[in-house]
Chain A
Amino acid sequence: DQQVKQNSPSLSVQEGRISILNCDYTNSMFDYFLWYKKYPAEGPTFLISISSIKDKNEDGRFTVFLNKSAKHLSLHIVPSQPGDSAVYFCAASARGNDMRFGAGTRLTVKP
């Protein structure tokens, strides 16, 4: 059962524009959400996280929004840069247990 879903396998945006990556989850017990970024031949690296007590967390060009009622979170990258081209994984955990990952979205930022 896929408890974390990333329905867009790929996304292409122009350099300087906004990238919006989406993630949906089904388990209402999830209380901590993370985004990881993965370059080819490397392991995923942590990007940004958000606790369920918040609805927004910002770190530089990266902002994560959480809509608990819709069980939806999104990652906004503004402005997008070619170096942001990677696979982005959404992940979620419940009370510090069992981190679950989505299938990933491949972001391509075109110069």
Chain B
Amino acid sequence: GAGVSQSPRYKVAKRGQDVALRCDPISGHVSLFWYQQALGQGPEFLTYFQNEAQLDKSGLPSDRFFAERPEGSVSTLKIQRTQQEDSAVYLCASSPLASNGEKLFFGSGTQLSVL
């Protein structure tokens, strides 16, 4: 496919469980972003990669959240010891440009429910 692909589409986790969310950006896109979208809210910035370098992780809500993009393509967002407040849709976006203020291409998101 030509778009940003995220998996799984839905994830149900028990409180305290670790989860890993995957993002396949559009091929060749330099920039990759993770956003968290709570119900009824807009996307909230979590972290930003330019190729394999994580240039901004200021939006990660706690040290339980960790993201990586080791080869500058696929990215994984990991949440350790999930809590109920982590329940949200996690959106991945990519951009062909080396900045995070331009047009973004979003995936369909992973809906995480923590019980």
Contact = CB atoms under 8 A, between A and B. Distances in A.
B101 A96 contact: yes
A25 interface: no
A99 B45 contact: yes
- Using C-beta atoms within 8 Å of the partner chain, give the interface range for chain A: 20 to 34
A97 B109 CA distance: 22
Interface in A1-56: 4, 6, 9, 32, 34, 36, 41-46, 49
A104 to B, nearest CB: 5
A103 B45 contact: no
Contact of A4 (B42, B91, B100, B109): B42
Grouping DSSP codes into helix (H, G, I), strand (E, B) and loop, the B interface class, with mixed when no group exceeds half, is loop
B83 interface: no
B1 interface: no
Interface stretch (A60-68, A71-79, A87-95): A87-95
B103 A43 contact: no
B105 A32 contact: no
Contacts of B105: 46
A43 B93 contact: yes
Grouping DSSP codes into helix (H, G, I), strand (E, B) and loop, the A interface class, with mixed when no group exceeds half, is strand
Interface in B63-113: 91, 93, 99-109
A59 interface: no
A97 B4 contact: no
A98 B100 contact: yes
B103 A34 contact: yes
B106 A44 contact: yes
Instruction: Identify the 6 closest CB pairs spanning chains A and B, nearest first.
Output: A93-B101, A43-B106, A101-B42, A96-B99, A96-B101, A46-B103
Interface of B: 4, 33, 35, 40-45, 56, 91, 93, 99-109
